[in-house]
Structure 1
Amino acid sequence: MSYKIVVDSCCELPDELKKDPRFEIVPLGIEVGDWRIQDDETFNQAEFLRRVAECPECPRSSCPSPDRYKQSFDCDAEHIYVVTLSANLSGSHNSAVLGKNLYEEKHHDKKIHVVDSKSASGGEAQIALKAMELEEKGLAFEEIVQQLEAFRDEMNTYFVLNNLETLRKNGRLTGVKALVASTLNIKPVMGATEEGTIIQLGQAIGLKKALQKMADIVARETANPQKKCLMITHCNNLAKAESVRDMILAKAKFAEARILDTAGISSMYANDGGIIIAV
């Protein structure tokens, strides 16, 4: 069976898959003051971070329309898997579901499943890569859907950011009751609930110690790491991402470790220097 994997642009696909015909990235919109762009292949992280630093207003995002998702289903593939940002963080998931419903009103020639990643960034990438792996094994669509949902439910997301202001001002920290004072250089270690909302797991003084604490948590909490891929995404902070990878691999042996740079939406929320882990 032919297949296609559709992801929104918060998904950090490896470079070799960005132009793979089996994948399509549906872009979200980004606004920094008067500057408006699509989070697509033209995204320039350096320019974006400069504009964010210079703009007094908080950057904002806009999700794709249902019709844009509907367009992505108009293809030759018989099986389509859609992976979106957590429904608790973005309207992208709802748009994808509406797009699927609109498409199926007039078309009955393919099977479509929309996955709420309950994560973001590398978490979406993990699910997309799993969908590809299962399809390449030749499994039935219904079996793949079941395994994808189970894979998603077992996955954990962790992150440490230099700056939480974008998440806070955009209302993405509603599940966090109290945040430590940034003036004390205390960095929280964050994670996600089973529902895909953000929680605080711990804290440390300074970025270096917070990353060490996150690495310890990842190594301790990951079951059967030898069967899993360690996915690390970073916003303009490759050296720290490599350091975190090395700290984790010193404590737990993973089947694979990938480091990817953030595109637009992930860069907006991670801010300069942020590190995100999905496993």
Structure 2
Amino acid sequence: MKTIIIGDSCCDLPGDYLLENQVPIVHYMYLFKGQEYFDDFGKSMSYRDFYHEVRLGEMPTTSQVNVHTFEEIFEKYIKEGYAVIYVSFSSALSNTFANAVMAGETIREKYAGADITVIDTKCASLGEGLILRHALEMLKKGAKKEEIVTWIEENKLKLNHWFTVEDLGHLKRGGRVSGTAAFVGTMLNIKPVLHVDNEGRLIPVTKVRGRKKSIKVLADMLAERIINPQEQVVGISHGDCPEDALYLKELIMENCPVKDVLINYVGPVIGAHSGPGTLALFFFGRER
């Protein structure tokens, strides 16, 4: 049976790459200035316009993908004779994974023998994107569905996510830091460094004073934890701070050269919670 891999818009891979590889995408939605938008990789609203408005004080809200949406897309590909793999955004950050699981159960009841695997990557942004990208490369090379699913399950908790933010206020709104900590941190130019743990949650790890130092910590984490750097394409995603992304890439290539660096924006659904100036680094290590 032929296999189809479905991703979602929180993967933050470049839209052109997904289009070129004909990857079906489940799009999250966000509400912005009273209007609903699909997270469609900058088509409906450019990334720069989104972050510009957020910097001016606009507060977007996001919503999970509902069960019906998953039922429709799963049913479409089951009827076309595919075995389905859905590579999902972390269940610790959204209920979307649970909705996909429910939809999969419904379609299996409706179609005897329907082969649907829903994978909780415990990843976000280009962490999820790198998992999806590797799975797609495996599929291109002729890997069977079971081989792809096994690889993802065996490697997803080796995908390191390290990131820093420019403004603690957005993390405060999401309950990641207290209001007092956000106020004091902003006054003292304190920048948190966080990672995503094995449960797929955002966890503060350390704090440093100054943006440059926080970016250096990200590069240091890679140098300390990465395995087989010469073979790895690592990911950097950013909340409209391309100069900082390029600076981080320079630090990496100077100290621990990797095969390649993929740079893209943090999309609006994740960016609504992390804010402008978010800078995130993704790579494989022995563990998170």
**TM-superposed deviation, 1:110:** 4.4
Q: Deviations over 1:229-278 (max 9, x none)?
A: 21111121111101101111222232221111222213223321211111
- Partner of 2:45 in structure 1? 43
Question: Is the counterpart of residue 138 in structure 1 residue 180 in structure 2?
Answer: no
- Pick from 254, 257, 261 the counterpart of residue 261 of structure 2: 257
What are the within-5 Å matches in structure 2 for residues 62-101 of structure 1? 62-73=63-74, 74-75=76-77, 76=80, 78-101=82-105
Contact 1:32 1:52 in 2 (8 A): no
Q: Secondary structure at the match of 2:24?
A: strand
- Partner of 1:148 in structure 2? 152
Contact 2:5 2:23 in 1 (8 A): yes
**TM-superposed deviation, 1:220:** 0.8
Counterpart amino acid of 2:243?
A
Q: Deviations over 1:5-57 (max 9, x none)?
A: 2222111122333324641221212124534322123132233223323446x
- Partner of 2:131 in structure 1? 127
Q: Return closer, same or farther for 1:96/1:165 CA change in 2, 3 Å cut-off.
A: farther
- Partner of 1:229 in structure 2? 233
Contact 2:55 2:276 in 1 (8 A): no
Paired with 2:81 and 2:156, the residues of 1 have a C-alpha distance of: 23
Q: Return closer, same or farther for 1:191/1:79 CA change in 2, 3 Å cut-off.
A: same
More helix by share: 2
Residue ranges of structure 2 left out of the alignment (5+ in a row): 284-288
Q: Deviations over 1:181-209 (max 9, x none)?
A: 22111101111111111112222211111
- The count of aligned residue pairs is 275
Paired with 2:272 and 2:223, the residues of 1 have a C-alpha distance of: 27
Paired with 1:71 and 1:246, the residues of 2 have a C-alpha distance of: 44
Please, what TM-score do these two structures have when normalized by structure 1?
0.89
**TM-superposed deviation, 1:108:** 3.7
Greater shift, 160-169 or 145-154, is seen at 160-169
Q: Return closer, same or farther for 1:131/1:108 CA change in 2, 3 Å cut-off.
A: farther
Moved over 3 A (4+): 53-56
Contact 2:164 2:193 in 1 (8 A): yes
- Partner of 1:197 in structure 2? 201
Q: Return closer, same or farther for 1:135/1:18 CA change in 2, 3 Å cut-off.
A: closer
Paired with 1:261 and 1:242, the residues of 2 have a C-alpha distance of: 12
**TM-superposed deviation, 1:212:** 0.7
Paired with 2:47 and 2:14, the residues of 1 have a C-alpha distance of: 16
Q: Return closer, same or farther for 1:8/1:167 CA change in 2, 3 Å cut-off.
A: farther
What are the within-5 Å matches in structure 2 for residues 97-108 of structure 1? 97-108=101-112
Please, what TM-score do these two structures have when normalized by structure 2?
0.87
Paired with 2:171 and 2:114, the residues of 1 have a C-alpha distance of: 37
Q: Secondary structure at the match of 1:127?
A: helix
Counterpart amino acid of 2:8?
D
Residue ranges of structure 1 left out of the alignment (5+ in a row): none
CA RMSD, 1 decimal: 2.2
- Partner of 1:18 in structure 2? 18
- Pick from 214, 218, 235 the counterpart of residue 214 of structure 1: 218
Q: Return closer, same or farther for 1:17/1:246 CA change in 2, 3 Å cut-off.
A: same
- Partner of 1:8 in structure 2? 8
Greater shift, 9-18 or 95-104, is seen at 9-18
Paired with 1:264 and 1:47, the residues of 2 have a C-alpha distance of: 10
Identity within the alignment, %: 27
Counterpart amino acid of 1:186?
I
- Partner of 1:28 in structure 2? 28
Counterpart amino acid of 1:111?
D
Q: Deviations over 1:123-163 (max 9, x none)?
A: 11111111112212222222221111112121110111112
